Amino acid sequence: MKRILPFFFVSFLLACSQEAKQLPYLGHPTAETLASGETIERPYEIPDFALLNQDSLVVNNKTLAGKIYIADFIFLQCPTICPKMNVEMKRVYDAFHENENVVFVSHTIDPKHDSIPVLKAYSESLGVDAAKWHFLYGDESDIHQLAQGYFMQAYQESAAPGGYAHSGGFLLIDADQHIRGVYDGTSTADVNRLMEEIPLLLNEKIK
């Protein structure tokens, strides 16, 4: 004879299962000493930045506060991984662009060629909403340094195709600007994992 579990017990098991799926906090935590003398660790946060998007509007930490966003570092003359990354990011955009809590942020690591008008034209060629997918422009050294803040690499390399070497990762950032996931932007399977994990942060944000 089969045993029927009480409803409240089933609900408890489901709740525990959902809690077990919480995404980790990535990066080096920051130690903070409270007035009581107690020291606590706070999750790593994306460093402060201020850049211009394809509409010449300032995008900074405050712009993205309270939003879940997916970030990457690319350049439009990249002959290797960037075209694949852009296709994969567009696939994620198509799935989530109608959600007001999700935005996309692509930083050009080659602002000499990727001017604001060039980024604007590229954004329009994709048919994306500039308020939902920011293509960010700024001083090259600032962007390369910011990439390090995301634990990504971006630097000039004469021997590299296109003159730049950079990481091909997508980063999932939560509403408090903590890194919660890193994914291979050239891998359809890994980007599928990203698409499965975005809803976990959306549920976390609602709680």
Look over the chain and give the mean of its residue pLDDT values, rounded to a whole number.
Answer: 89
pLDDT digits over 104-143, tens only? 999 999 999 999 999 999 999 999 999 999 999 999 999 9
Confidence of residue 206 (pLDDT cuts 50, 70, 90): low
Choice among 9-18, 93-102, 105-114 with the minimum mean pLDDT: 9-18
Q: Residue 37: its pLDDT value, please?
A: 78
Residue 3 has pLDDT above 60, yes or no: no
Query: pTM to 2 decimals?
Result: 0.86
Residue 189 predicted with pLDDT over 70: yes
Please state, in angstroms and rounded to a whole number, the distance separating the CA atoms of residues 16 and 143: 41
Instruction: List, in sequence order, every residue forming a beta bridge with 39; answer none if it has no partner.
Output: 33
* 170 within 8 A of 72, measured Cβ to Cβ: yes
Residue 33 confidence class, pLDDT cut points 50, 70, 90: confident
Give the C-alpha distances (Å, rounded to integers) separating 79 from 74, 124, 150: 11, 21, 23
Cα 151 from chain centre: 12
Residue % of the chain over a pLDDT of 90: 74
